Every structure is written in C-alpha cells, then in structure tokens.
C-alpha cells in the first residue's frame, strides 16, 4: 500500500492511499472567546516546507508550515510520514488564552488537526466515556463501539480512536499525547482532534500529537497503533501468564454477584466460608476480588482504604494468610470528605493507598469509578498536564509497591494513557454484569432500588461491546475483563443465568480476566472445568476475539481467536453471535480464516461438521473449533475445555511416517479427555502418560489420558476400516 501526502490548491494537506484520498482538508480550528477561527477564516497558513530524515521508526518525509493569527505566528504544524504511519504535531509557538468553550469533551477546544473523509468510507470507533458538566452522578458512560459510514454517521459523543476501513485496508486515527483530555469530536463535515472544552490557557510549547496508522483491516490497524504507542511508552503487551489476575481463575463480589453490596454484603466470615468451600470441592479459585471493602460516604466515594471494621473487624491480611488467597482490591473515586485530606487531582495520595493495599494482602489495585474522579475534579479537565500527572502518579505508586492495576469505569483517554504503564495489565471492557440480569434488577426494585432498572442492557449489547472493545484494549496493551458472571443457571434467589455456559465461553474466548460470583455451595463445577485446569490456570487463546471485518455492522457478528504453534499448525476458535432482535441464519466460509486443510468441530453439537452454518435466536451463539488435519487425523485438543488447544499446554504437533505426534504439558494428577477426528480407525499410544481408554462416536474419538510426566507425547495413527 502506497501512503503519501498531497498538498491541495488551497494549501491544505491530504492523505492518499493508492492514489485515493482517505483524509482531506487537514486544517485547524482555534476558539477565541467562544468564536471559532479557522485556517479558512481568520488564521493564515504559511508555505509548506519539506525535508527527509530517519528516526527509530525508519526513514520519513517531513512537511511543515506555520499559522498566524492577527499577524503573529502562533502554531507550527508538522506531518511526519513513515511508510505506514503519519504523526501530525501541532505545537504552540506562544501562550494562548481565551480557549474555553464549555465544560465538556463534546465541545472540545483547539482542534488540531481537523480533517474529513469520504462519505462512502466505513468506520469503527469507540465513544470516549465522558460528556459534559450536566452529567449526573457518576458522570459519563461506558465507552461503546460504533459502526457507520461517512462523516454524517459520526456520533455526537466524543470518541477515540477512529478507524476508517475498506475491503482491503484500514487507517486508524488516535490522539498520541495528553490522552486524558484529548478526544476526537465530530465537526461540520468531518473530525477534529482537540482538548477538553474547559481548557482556557495553554503555554508555548504545548504539543497536540495525532497518529494515523495503516493496516490490512480494522484489527491490524489497531494493533499497529498499539505497537507504536506501546513503544513510545516503553511497555509491551502483557502475556496471559504474567500475573495471577490474568492467568488464573478468580472469585468476585461486584455488582451481579451473589455477595454484592446491594444484595448480600460480604464480610470476613463469608470469605473464610468461601475459601473452605473452594478447597473442599476442588474449585481452583486463586484470588478474591473484593468490592467496597473499605468505609465510604456513598458507593463510589471512598473515605479511606482500610478494611471496613463492620465487615472485617480483624482486617484482611490475616484471612489471606489462612486461606492462601490474595486480593484484587477495589478503589473508587475519593469523597470530598476523604480521610487523606486531598482533592481528586493529587497523585501523591496513591503512595499511601498503595501501601495500604499491599499491607492487607492486595496484589492488584482494581481502580473503579475512574471517570467519576475526572468528572468531578475540575483540574483533571481544564489542565491537560495535571490530568496526565494524576494518572501517571497513580500507576507509578502502585508499581512501586509491586501492584498491578485493573482499570474500571475508565475513559478511552485512560485506556490510551495506559500504554505508558507496564503494571496496568487489564481493564473492564463494558458495563456491569448486573444490568443484563433481569431477575436481579427486579429484586432490587422490590427492595426499594428501582433506579438500577434504567441501566438495563440487552445481552446483544454486552456481546457487541465486550468483543469489540476487548479487541481495542488488547491492542493498547491490556487484557479485557468482561466482568464476573454466575456459573449456575439454576442458582437460587433469582441469580441463575440461563445463558451461563455462553457467558463462560465469552470469557474464555476473551483471553483476559475470568471471575465468578456464585454463592457458597452453588458453583457449577462443570463450567469451571471448561475454563480452568485443576491448578487454577485458565485455558486461554493467544489473543482476544477479533471480529471478521465482513460481519461488522451486520446482524450476525463473527469473531475468532486462535492457538498458534506456527504458521502451519494452529487452532482457530470461531464464535458466531446473533446481535439482532430476530432469529437469523448464518453461514461462514472457514477458508477466510484457515487456508490449510482443517477439520471443523461443532462444540455445542459435539460433532464434526463439513461447514459452518445454522440459525440463531437473538443473543444466542454458536461455537466451532477449526483444527489442523494431517494424515487424515485432526487433533482437536482437550474435550472438556472451551479453549481446546491452549498454547501454554499444547507444545507441539508434527506428522512423520503416517503418524501425528502431539506434545502436551498438563497438570499431574488429572485425567484428560483428548478429542481426535480420524477418517479411519484411531490407534493411540503415549509416552509419559497412560492411555486409559479410547471411545468413539462415528469419526470423533476421545482418548482418555493420565499424565505421569509433566510433559508427554501422544502418537496417533489412522488405520483403514475393514
């Protein structure tokens, strides 16, 4: 793909891909006392200069010009074009005042750059998460994914990032600095990259950086954007085994769980009961996520991060020592009457908070209500550098104490800022599980809390946003968390979820954090077995679900992830979701995802099929595993796991002399069903494991093995049927 800059006759620049204008009319807008000055009305642009150079990203072409207001230069605009990325930098040459518009992200100020794109161009974006001063408590909303076509389809809400896409290429646009106060916004006929509308003064030297990054499709463009931002921030995408939060099964008491603060408030006695129950029943929970464990003025406004004496009179540290289960500890916005005596913009307070969490047995700071803290702290809106200092100070304070960070109720600006902080390893991808649970909402209304009903969210919205925002979070160096869920479809007291298996599948496919929220004695152990090994380690794919681009904007959302040993040996996990309100048929050509010879396993149908097709009811899913076929044998993997061939446990697969040999590493002490397709009669031998039994149903075999070594090999051969 050829990406180049072209200067139009009016002096404005455009970005061309293969001689087609994708970005045009690159300019700027400057408000003065709430009156817009633009590069076509009041602002004068100088001549462009060009040069070439080389930096850490390779060779580049540089275009530069200055803009003047009232005869005095005030901004330098540079366009640095690499082979597949463009960095636009607007730098103030002098102090600028009278920038304030409204106290809102939607009414952003100092738009540099502004641009437009073709009406026929499709786009994907995420809304920003905060709006204006008139928002009620808690302020803002969960960022949501939007699909549209042309500038007229852009939402009224602020957003970031924005991805333009066609059949064979995509271009993502994102703020590249001052993330917390930098949205993209809709303008008349296009887009502007600006700052929060409360910003009134900016000093000389202030830079507004914006990245334009090319990719083959939406996912690829976002991953390339993430690569650049992570490299600039000195961070790598965390691997799934880098922390217990992301590698192992947890239990949580957040909204939607049985022991939520709204329903059955948690206490120390119940924590010990849970730990005893998990150990007795072999439920391999490895940490506890504790919501609202501290004194608060009202939910969302913390007083101090010490154990609430009415719930945990002896603290939390003693419990974790007895149970061996560490904590993911919840934080909210600080109350104005907080015991630390600070306002919401003070990053230094997190040094004390980090020490408090560590002393109680915390391994993760689960910082919730983040957008609320920004919304009700004016300095975090009107001062871009103060906002960056606050967020960075928070992350760094926890890092100094060895604590990872899970973001929750965050804005997209915070997600982008997380690219500079290695210990921010995960983030919630969408709203609370509670708001999709009708029976729980009805119970709350009956208990005098009808306000939660207005947040009711259809299951389709969870599917759509958790998948698409999960992809964005992964691109930005975090693992997604779909929130806790109830495993038991028959859970008493109205907590049962009829689609519990599907909810579990979504979390397995997310590649991220997995947590349950059932009552003592009510966990569905079959679902736990599908998610995790006996040691609590999750069976995970290599990355979260990516959408099949052809399905974006359609009633059927097709998404996939994989386990890849190499280019020739991979397992594709293919999920199909009906996100419409009507029963809808689907058909997927698996060659779009797997060019090599493969077998298709219908997970819910428990059979080998020749094609992926069917009919789904609203909010329903189908699930298929595509496995490599060699010598007439398709090794599907672990028959009791959603992710049948996790790269962490399937170490090799090769063919030789008419046999297929698989190398596995599975926890000792367990018995495992391995699913195998064979066109003939299957013969199975193992080294380092016992083959206990081989059963079959037509051409689908189950080989039951018990490992005797930490790593073992399984040799498979097909014999001609007589």
CATH code of the domain covering residue 405: 3.20.20.70
Q: Give the residue from 190, 205, 233 where a domain finishes.
A: 233
Residue at 545 is within a domain: no
Q: How many domains does the chain have?
A: 3
- Judge if 261 and 218 occupy the same domain: no
pLDDT score recorded for residue 719? 78
Residue 421: the pLDDT is 98
Q: Give the bridge partners for 195, in sequence order.
A: 109
Range 354-358 contact pairs with CB under 8 angstroms and sequence separation of 24 or more:
354/397, 354/398, 354/400, 354/401, 354/403, 355/401, 356/305, 356/306, 357/305, 357/329, 357/398, 357/401, 357/403, 358/401, 358/402, 358/403
Same domain, yes or no, for 135 and 217?
yes
| DSSP assignment string, 48-85 | -EEEEEEETTEEEEEEEEEEEETTEEEEEEEEEE-SSE
In a shared domain, residues 480 and 382: yes
Query: Reduced to 3 DSSP states, what percent helix, strand and coil does the chain have, rounded to the nearest 5?
Result: 20, 40, 40
Cα Rg of the chain (Å, integer): 27
Cα–Cα nearest to 403, from 422, 429, 427, 417: 422
Across the chain, which has 722 residues, the per-10-residue mean pLDDT values are: 88 94 97 94 94 91 96 97 96 97 96 98 98 77 97 97 97 98 96 98 98 98 98 93 96 98 97 98 98 96 97 97 98 95 95 98 98 95 98 98 98 98 98 97 95 95 98 98 97 95 98 98 98 97 97 98 94 98 97 94 97 98 96 95 97 91 95 95 96 95 97 91 50
- 343 and 486 co-located in one domain: yes
- Residue 273 is assigned to a structural domain of this protein: yes
Compute CA 96 distance to the chain's CA centroid, rounded to the nearest angstrom.
Answer: 37
Last residue of a domain, one of 233, 268, 303: 233
**DSSP 3-state of 630:** strand
Length of the chain: 722
Relative to beta strand 327-331, strand 287-290 is parallel
Q: What is the pLDDT of residue 132?
A: 73
pLDDT of residue 656: 85
Structure tokens at 484: 């806790």
What is the C-alpha to C-alpha distance for residues 551 and 558, in angstroms, rounded to an integer?
A: 6
Same domain, 421 and 372: yes
Same domain assignment for residues 282 and 195: no
pLDDT at position 133 is 63
Two structure tokens written together for 561:
């992830």
Q: From residue 468, how far is each of 420, 515, 580, 598 by CA, in Å?
A: 22, 20, 16, 27
Q: Are 450 and 507 within 8 A, CB to CB?
A: no
> Are 285 and 399 in a shared domain?
yes
Residue 490: inside a domain: yes
Q: Residue 641: which of 603, 678, 589 has the closest Cα?
A: 603
**Is residue 197 one of the residues assigned to a domain?**
yes
CATH code: domain of residue 78? 2.70.98.10
Phi/psi region, residue 343 (left: phi>0; alpha: psi -120 to 50; beta: rest), is beta
Looking at the structure, do residues 525 and 609 belong to the same domain, yes or no? no
Residue 367, CA distances (Å) to 292, 403, 409, 560 in order: 11, 12, 8, 30
The reply to whether 319 and 361 lie within a common domain is yes
Last residue of a domain, one of 201, 233, 265: 233
Q: Which domain holds residue 113?
A: 3-233
Shared domain for 79 and 156, answered yes or no, is yes
């Amino acid at each position: 793909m050829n990406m180049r800059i072209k200067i139009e006759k009016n002096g404005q620049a455009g970005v061309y891909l293969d001689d087609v204008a994708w970005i045009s009319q690159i300019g700027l807008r400057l408000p003065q006392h709430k009156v817009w000055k633009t590069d076509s009305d009041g602002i004068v642009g100088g001549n462009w200069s060009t040069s070439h150079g080389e930096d850490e990203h390779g060779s580049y072409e540089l275009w530069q010009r200055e803009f003047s207001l009232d005869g005095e230069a005030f901004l330098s605009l540079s366009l640095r074009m690499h082979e597949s990325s463009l960095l636009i930098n607007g730098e103030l040459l002098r102090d600028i005042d009278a920038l304030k518009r409204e106290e809102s992200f939607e009414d952003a100020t100092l738009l540099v750059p502004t641009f437009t794109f073709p009406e026929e161009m499709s786009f994907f974006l995420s809304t920003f998460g905060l709006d204006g001063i008139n928002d009620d408590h808690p302020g803002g909303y969960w960022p949501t994914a939007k699909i549209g076509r042309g500038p007229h389809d852009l939402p009224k809400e602020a957003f970031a990032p924005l991805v333009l896409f066609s059949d064979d290429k995509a271009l993502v646009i994102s703020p590249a600095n001052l993330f917390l106060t930098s949205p993209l916004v809709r303008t008349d006929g296009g887009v502007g990259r600006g700052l929060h509308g409360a910003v009134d003064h900016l000093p000389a030297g202030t830079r507004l950086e914006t990245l334009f990054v090319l990719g083959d499709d939406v996912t690829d463009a976002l991953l390339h954007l993430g690569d650049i931002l992570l490299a600039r921030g000195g961070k790598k995408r965390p691997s799934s085994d880098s922390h217990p939060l992301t590698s192992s099964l947890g239990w949580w008491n957040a909204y939607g769980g049985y022991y939520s603060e709204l329903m059955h408030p948690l206490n120390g006695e119940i924590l010990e009961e849970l730990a005893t129950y998990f150990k007795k029943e072999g439920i391999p929970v490895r940490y506890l996520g504790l919501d609202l464990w501290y004194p608060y003025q009202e939910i969302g406004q913390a007083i101090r991060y010490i154990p609430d004496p009415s719930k945990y009179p002896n603290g939390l540290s003693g419990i974790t020592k007895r149970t061996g289960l560490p904590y993911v500890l919840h934080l909210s916005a600080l109350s104005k009457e907080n015991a630390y005596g600070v306002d919401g913009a003070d990053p230094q307070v997190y040094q004390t908070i980090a020490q408090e969490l560590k002393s109680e047995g915390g391994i993760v700071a689960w910082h919730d209500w983040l957008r609320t803290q920004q919304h009700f702290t004016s300095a975090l809106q009107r001062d871009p550098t103060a906002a960056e200092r606050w967020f960075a100070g928070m992350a760094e304070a926890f890092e100094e104490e060895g604590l990872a960070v899970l973001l929750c109720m965050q804005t997209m600006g915070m997600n982008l800022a997380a690219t500079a902080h290695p210990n921010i390893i995960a983030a919630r991808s969408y709203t609370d599980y509670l708001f999709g649970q009708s029976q729980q909402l009805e119970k709350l209304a009956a208990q005098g809390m009808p306000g939660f009903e207005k947040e009711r969210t259809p299951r389709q919205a969870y599917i759509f946003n958790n998948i698409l925002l999960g992809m964005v979070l992964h691109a930005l160096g975090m693992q997604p968390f779909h929130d806790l869920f109830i495993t038991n479809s028959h859970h008493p007291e109205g907590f049962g979820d009829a689609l519990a298996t599907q909810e579990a599948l979504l979390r397995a496919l997310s590649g991220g954090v997995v947590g349950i929220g059932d009552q003592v004695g009510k966990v569905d152990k079959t679902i736990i077995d599908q998610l995790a090994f006996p040691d609590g380690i999750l069976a995970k794919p290599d990355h979260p679900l990516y959408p099949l681009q052809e399905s974006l904007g359609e009633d059927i959302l097709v998404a996939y992830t994989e386990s890849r040993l190499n280019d020739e040996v991979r397992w594709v996990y293919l999920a199909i979701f009906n996100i419409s309100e009507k029963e809808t048929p689907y058909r997927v050509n698996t060659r779009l995802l797997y060019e090599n010879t493969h077998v298709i396993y219908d997970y819910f149908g428990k059979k080998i099929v020749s094609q992926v097709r069917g009919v789904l009811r609203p909010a329903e899913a189908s699930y298929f595993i595509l496995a490599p076929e060699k010598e007439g044998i398709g090794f599907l993997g672990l028959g009791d796991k959603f992710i049948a061939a996790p790269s962490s446990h399937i170490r090799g697969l090769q063919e030789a002399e008419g046999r297929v040999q698989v190398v596995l590493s599975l926890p000792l002490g367990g018995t495992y069903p391995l699913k195998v397709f064979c066109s003939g009669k299957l013969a199975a031998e193992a080294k380092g494991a016992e083959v206990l039994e081989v059963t079959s149903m037509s051409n689908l075999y189950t080989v039951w093995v018990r490992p005797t070594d930490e790593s073992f090999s399984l040799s498979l051969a097909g014999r001609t049927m007589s």
